[in-house]
Structure 1
Amino acid sequence: MKNVFVTGGSGFVGKRLIARLREMNVRVVALVRSDEAAAALEGPGVVTRRGDLQDEMALTEGMQGCDTVFHVAGHLSEWDPHTLFREANVDGTRKMLAAAKAAGASTFVAAGAAAVVMGRPKPMRDVSEDATLQRPSWAPYIATKADADQMVRQANTAAFRTIVVRPPLIWGEGMPMLDAMVETARAGHFALPDGGGQLMSTSHVDNVVACLLLAAEKGRGGQAYHVTDGQAGTLKQVITDLLGTRDVPPIQRSAPFGIAWRMAAVMETVWRMFHLRSKPPITRQTLRMIGQDFTLDISKARSDLGYTPVVTWAEGIARMRG
C-alpha cells in the first residue's frame, strides 16, 4: 500500500484514517466536495481532488496510480428521503467500484455498518458476519448499506480484492452525533428504551481505522469483518459515559420499547403524509439500532487480520474528558 484514494476524508472516520496513513508515509488522494474540506486535509503527503460519488469520470481520474481505495463516505441520518440514502450508499458505491476497476486499483476496502443484519426487533448477541443481510422498508440506512455491502463483496475477483469492515456505534473525540445527544438530553427529551439495560457493541474511531488498515493489508477478498472495542456495555452505561464527557447528568427517563416502536411508526406516517421538513422525535430505524441487545463477534477479525482493539472504552472516555 503506497498510494491510496480515500472518500469521506473530511468526516469523522476519514480524518483519522488519513492522519494514520500520513504517519505511515502513504501517499493519499482524498475526494472532497468543497474548498473548506480541501483546506482542512491538504498537507504533506495528501492531495485533494474535487468531485463527488456520482461523477465516475472524476473518480477514475483521481484514482489513477492508486493501488488501494478506502471508501468511507456515505449517508447516515435518522430521517431523510429514501432517494438520498440510495444515491449515496448504493449508487455511489457502484460508481466507486467501477472507477476503482477502471483505474487499476487492486484493493477496495469499504466502511460498512454492523446494522446491516438488523431486521424486525429482537435481541441479537455475538452476531457473526455470516448473519443474513436485512433490508427493512422503514430503515433506509440499513437497507441501502446492506445493498452496498453485498455489492462490494460480490465485486471481488482474483485481480480486485474487495472487503467490507462493519463497525457498530462509532465514537470518540469529535463524534458528530454527541452534540445532538447533549442538546436532546439537556432539553429533557431523552428517554432510554426499557431503561437502557440492553447490551450493545461499540467501536472507537481509532479501532475502526486500525481494522480498515488491517483489512487492506490482510483481509480475504469478498469478506466482511466486524470491528468493536472488544467489550460490550449497556445502552445506559454507554449514553451515561458519553454525556458525562460534557458534564450532562445520567438519563433517568425510560420508555417501554413496544410503545415507543408503535409511536415511531405513527410519527413516520404523519411526517410523510404532511411532508414535514423536520424529523420525527423518534424513528423505528433509530429504535432498532439501540432498543434491543446487539453485540458482535469479532473472532474473524482477530484470526484473519490479527485485529486487537487499540483503544479501550475507559481510555477513549478519558480522552474525551480531556
Structure 2
Amino acid sequence: MESSTMTSRLFLTGGSGYVGRNLIRHFTARGTEVVALTRSARSAEVVQALGAVPWMGDLLDANLADGMSGCQALIHAAADTSHGRGTTQQVRTNLEGTRNVFASAHAAGLSRAVHISSESVLLDGQPLINASEDHPLPRRPAGAYSHTKGNAERVALSLAAPGFEVVVIRPRFVWGRDDTTALPHLAATAASGQLAWIDGGHYRTSTTHIANVCEGVARALDRGRSGEVYFITDGAPVEFRSFITSLLETQGLEAPQKSVPRWLLRSTATVGGLLEDLSRGRLKSPISLQEFATMAVEVTLDITKARTELGYSPVITREEGLAELKAAATRPSR
C-alpha cells in the first residue's frame, strides 16, 4: 500500500518499542518522514538508526506540541503494557499520557491521529467470541491494563474535533519478526520447563503479525472514519495450542505436554490478586487476572469492519510469518 499523499511527516510515540520500530520501517520505506518521541539517548539512537528523527521528551511534557511542528499526523503507540497489579505509572502513561499527546497534536494543528489500542479493553475474564467493534467495554475489566487502555481510548476519541480526526485500531496478540516482548518471554518459559497448557490449550485465538499491524495503522491513517474503532488481525482465528507450538518450533523448542485446569488457574489469579492488594504488592501472585483473561480463554475478533471501511486485508499470512521467524532463528550470526 502506498503511503498517504496527505502525510509527508508524522509524529510517533513509542518509536523504540516493538510496534514503534516496525512502524518507523514501514513509513520511512514509503517516503514518509517520521519524528519519534524518545525519552533516553539509547532510544534516540535506536529510532535514528531506523531512519526516524528523534525528539527528546516525555508523554506529559507541556511543550510536546513543539516536537509535532510540521507534522500532519500522529500515531500513538506508546503504552505501559504491564499485565500485573495496577500502578500510578501505568495510569500516568496510558491515560494522562494519551490525553496530553492528543491535546498537543490538536494544538499543533495535526489533522489526523491513530491511537493504537488493544482488544484487551474488552476483556473481563470470560471468552470473547468473534467480537465486533460495537461490543461494549466491560463494567469490571480484567485488570489495570484493560482498565487504563479502555479509558485511554475514551480520552483519545473524546478529543476528536473538526479538523482533527481520531481513529482507533485494536490488534490482538502481536507477534512476528523483531519481537522483543512476547516471544522471548514465551521461549524462556518453555525452555525452563515452566510452560503449561490451560485446559489443554484447545481454544481459539486471533493473532496479528507485526506487518499486519503496520498495514492496519496505515489504512486507518488514510481511510479510517473519525471516531471509529477497527479490529486488525491475521484473519481467521487459530487454535491457541497449535499457534504457540508453531511459535516455539521456530525457536527450536518443543511445546510442553503438561496442562493445568482452567478453574484452578482462575482461582489462583483471583486469590493471588486479593493477596497482592492486601499486601500492597509485597506478595506477588503467580498469575494475574489480566494474564488469565488474555491467554486462558478464547479471544477471537471479527475484522469485517476493517475489511469493508479501510480496505484492509492481511499482507502476510500466519504461515509466512512463522517461516520468517524460523529463518531468522537459524540464520548464522555475523
TM-score, normalised with respect to structure 1: 0.95
Between 1:40-49 and 1:272-281, the stretch displaced more is 272-281
Residues 1:37 and 2:43 are matched in the alignment: yes
Name the aligned partner's letter for residue 140 of structure 1: A
Q: Where does residue 295 of structure 2 map in the other structure?
A: 290
Tell me if structure 2 keeps the 8 A contact 1:134–1:143: no
Residues 1:74 and 2:74 are matched in the alignment: no
Q: Where does residue 266 of structure 2 map in the other structure?
A: 261
Q: Where does residue 222 of structure 1 map in the other structure?
A: 227
Tell me if structure 2 keeps the 8 A contact 1:135–1:144: no
Tell me if structure 1 keeps the 8 A contact 2:106–2:164: yes
SS of 2:230's partner is strand
Residues 270 and 61 of structure 1: CA distance in aligned 2, closer, same or farther (over 3 Å): same
Residues 1:130 and 2:168 are matched in the alignment: no
Residues 300 and 180 of structure 1: CA distance in aligned 2, closer, same or farther (over 3 Å): same
Q: Where does residue 184 of structure 1 map in the other structure?
A: 189
Q: How does 1:1-322 map to 2 (within 5 A)?
A: 1-42=7-48, 46-57=52-63, 59-119=64-124, 121-134=125-138, 136=140, 138-175=142-179, 176-276=181-281, 279-322=284-327
Tell me if structure 1 keeps the 8 A contact 2:83–2:144: no
Query: Whole-Å Cα distance in 1 between the matches of residues 200 and 75 of structure 2?
Result: 38
* Per-residue Cα deviation, 1:72-121 (whole angstroms, up to 9, x for no partner): 000001214332221111110000111001100000101100121112x3
Query: Whole-Å Cα distance in 2 between the matches of residues 78 and 24 of structure 1?
Result: 34
Shift of 1:258: 1.4
SS of 1:56's partner is coil
Shift of 1:194: 1.1
Give aligned-pair identity as a percent: 35
* Per-residue Cα deviation, 1:37-73 (whole angstroms, up to 9, x for no partner): 111221586211111111131x111011111000000
Shift of 1:3: 1.0
Name the aligned partner's letter for residue 162 of structure 1: V
* Per-residue Cα deviation, 1:160-201 (whole angstroms, up to 9, x for no partner): 100001001000022212111122122222122111011100
Query: Whole-Å Cα distance in 2 between the matches of residues 275 and 122 of structure 1?
Result: 26
Tell me if structure 2 keeps the 8 A contact 1:135–1:142: no
Residues 287 and 42 of structure 1: CA distance in aligned 2, closer, same or farther (over 3 Å): same
Query: Whole-Å Cα distance in 1 between the matches of residues 283 and 172 of structure 2?
Result: 26
TM-score, normalised with respect to structure 2: 0.92
Name the aligned partner's letter for residue 115 of structure 1: S
Any stretches of 5+ residues in structure 2 without a counterpart?
Answer: 1-6, 328-334
Residues 52 and 279 of structure 1: CA distance in aligned 2, closer, same or farther (over 3 Å): farther
Any stretches of 5+ residues in structure 1 without a counterpart?
Answer: none
Query: Whole-Å Cα distance in 1 between the matches of residues 269 and 79 of structure 2?
Result: 24
Query: Whole-Å Cα distance in 2 between the matches of residues 135 and 48 of structure 1?
Result: 39
Name the aligned partner's letter for residue 138 of structure 2: Q
SS of 1:42's partner is helix
Residues 131 and 286 of structure 1: CA distance in aligned 2, closer, same or farther (over 3 Å): same
What CA RMSD, in Å, does the superposition of the two structures yield over aligned residues? 1.6
Tell me if structure 2 keeps the 8 A contact 1:53–1:96: yes
Residues 310 and 277 of structure 1: CA distance in aligned 2, closer, same or farther (over 3 Å): farther
Residues 157 and 275 of structure 1: CA distance in aligned 2, closer, same or farther (over 3 Å): closer
Residues 56 and 247 of structure 1: CA distance in aligned 2, closer, same or farther (over 3 Å): same
